[in-house]
């Protein structure tokens, strides 16, 4: 892809320490916050797996949620130009479905969003080191977008190691770490490890804690719901300023 020739756009790349940590929920929440502040938000999930067939072809529930949160006026095929039915890493999907990742389609969709939106939020798939093909990972794709990286992490035991490794990988790739979001924190059930992990991550990762998003039964990516607790927790951060780092 040749994305560096695109005019530098305000935006953020949202990755996670693992799959299922809440990247899509957080990306959608950030989009909703920015939209309510008057920004036209471009949401972009370049590659999605585990998609379903419908009248538009292969559709990702994640893409639908992002579109809803951003009040997007462009098709899902722009939000996710590369979609696979197989619920696996892109490199596996491409092999099983005999269809390599179309990087030109990704580049074209991203340029369109840069031209038509104020700020672009790009969500990865899985963690930063997930392979796209034999030569590239999600982190290599993030380098092409050249955006500050928001790292979404679990609150549970083990998150310190996972998060510090992700921070290190992102910085080694030459990208700025905007900060960390803890997703799904349950204060009523938190133990000492969960209570102290955010401070340890910030100290040893030399980064900022952007938000602690509580476990919110009213939020559901699959059902297209962004709960008020999630939205409120994300309002504490100036996402517009971070997107211009």
pLDDT digits (tens, 9 = 90+) for 140-162: 999 999 999 999 999 999 999 99
- Altogether, the residues listed in the chain come to a count of 245
Domain layout of the chain by residue ranges: 11-242
- Token pair listed for 44: 């972009």
Q: What percent of the chain has pLDDT over 90?
A: 92
Say what the pLDDT of residue 2 is.
58
Please report, for residues 39, 78, 120, the alpha-carbon distance to residue 31 in angstroms, rounded to integers and kept in the order given: 9, 16, 9
Q: Which CATH superfamily is domain 11-242 in?
A: P-loop containing nucleotide triphosphate hydrolases (3.40.50.300)
Phi, psi of 120 (to 5 degrees): -120, 125
Does the active-site annotation cover 40? no
**Bridge partners for 150 per DSSP:** 14, 179
Phi, psi of 229 (to 5 degrees): -65, -40
**Which of the following is catalytic: 2, 8, 9, 45?**
45
Give the lowest-confidence range in 2-6, 98-102, 141-145, 173-177.
2-6
Q: Is the pLDDT of residue 66 over 80?
A: yes
For residues 179 and 202, what is the distance between their CA atoms, to the nearest angstrom?
9
Q: How much is the average pLDDT of 16-34?
A: 96
134 CB-contact burial (10 Å; exposed 0-12 / middle 13-18 / buried 19+): exposed
Residues 202-212 have pLDDT tens digits of 999 999 999 99
Q: How confident is the model at residue 9 (pLDDT cuts 50, 70, 90)?
A: confident
Q: Is the pLDDT of residue 8 over 80?
A: no
């Amino acid at each position: 892809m040749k994305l560096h020739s695109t005019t530098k756009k305000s935006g953020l790349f949202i990755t996670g320490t693992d799959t299922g940590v809440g990247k899509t929920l957080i990306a959608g929440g950030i989009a909703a916050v920015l939209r309510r502040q008057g920004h036209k938000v471009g949401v972009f999930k370049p590659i999605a797996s585990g998609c379903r067939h419908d009248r538009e072809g292969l559709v990702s529930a994640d893409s639908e949620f992002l579109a809803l949160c951003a009040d997007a006026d462009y098709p899902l095929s722009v939000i996710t130009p590369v979609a696979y039915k197989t619920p696996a890493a892109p490199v596996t999907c491409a092999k099983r479905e005999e269809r390599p990742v179309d990087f030109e389609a990704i580049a074209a969709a991203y340029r369109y969003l840069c031209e038509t939106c104020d700020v672009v939020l790009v969500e990865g798939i899985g963690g930063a080191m997930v392979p796209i093909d034999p030569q590239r990972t999600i982190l290599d794709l993030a380098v092409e977008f050249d955006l500050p990286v928001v790292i979404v992490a679990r609150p549970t035991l083990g998150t310190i190691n996972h998060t510090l490794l992700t921070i290190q990988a992102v910085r080694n790739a030459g990208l700025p770490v905007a900060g960390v979001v803890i997703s799904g924190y349950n204060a009523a059930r938190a133990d000492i490890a969960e209570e102290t992990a955010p401070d340890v991550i910030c100290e040893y990762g030399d980064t900022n804690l952007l938000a602690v998003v509580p476990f919110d039964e009213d939020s559901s990516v699959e059902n297209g719901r962004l709960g008020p607790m999630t939205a409120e927790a994300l309002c504490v951060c100036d996402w517009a300023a971070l997107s211009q780092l």
